[in-house]
Amino acid sequence: MKGTAALSSFLAAALLVVACSRDEATSEPVAMPEPVVAAEPAIDPVTGFKVTGDWEIVRANCVACHSAKLITQQRGSAQQWLTMIRWMQKKQNLWQFDPVTEEKIITYLAENYPPSDAQRRAALPPDLMPPNPYSMEN
């Protein structure tokens, strides 16, 4: 009886060793670590805005009148974004911002949607625009 018990525990141990070494032999090669790339910010599923920085201030102020797509497909420097905002304030009833809020909005836009060669050209300055035949103002 004693012999049988010793034998079976020996067999069990032997099996374990075989199983383990087999396992090792058939296991996949160790994966190389992923190359480190700067993480892209997440995209807000509702607006499509990049979820970073002061994006919530932009969401709170910039999607009341039109789709956020109008913004995310646009590109511009800080100055170009400011010009667009001033145009909306003058012509489209966009409200005034306090300087701190305005700075945060412009920074977010210029950092996340900066000028790009692949984009459409910048808007013409107003004095180079052809007259608008539908305008009620002139």
**Interface residues toward ligand HEC, by CB under 6 A:** 61-62, 64-66, 70-71, 74, 84-85, 88, 92-94, 105, 109, 123
Residue 48 phi, psi dihedral angles, 5° rounding = 85, 0
Q: Count CB neighbours of 80 within 10 A.
A: 19
| Least CB distance to ligand HEC at residue 138 (A) | 19
Q: How far is the CB of 91 from ligand HEC (least distance, A)?
A: 8
- What's CA 112's distance to the chain center, in Å? 8
Distance CA(107)–CA(20), nearest Å, equals 57
Q: CB-wise, 39 or 129, nearer to ligand HEC?
A: 129
- Minimum gap (Å) between residue 85 Cβ and ligand HEC: 5
- Output 22 or 69, the one with its CB closest to ligand HEC: 69
Phi, psi of 50 (to 5 degrees): -70, 130
| Choice between 22 and 66, CB closer to ligand HEC | 66
Instruction: For the CB of residue 30, give the shortest distance to ligand HEC in the complex, in Å.
Output: 48
Please name the amino acid found at residue 133. P
Select 8 or 79, whichever has its Cβ closest to ligand HEC: 79
DSSP 8-state secondary structure symbol assigned to residue 127 = G
Name the amino acid, one letter, at 25.
A
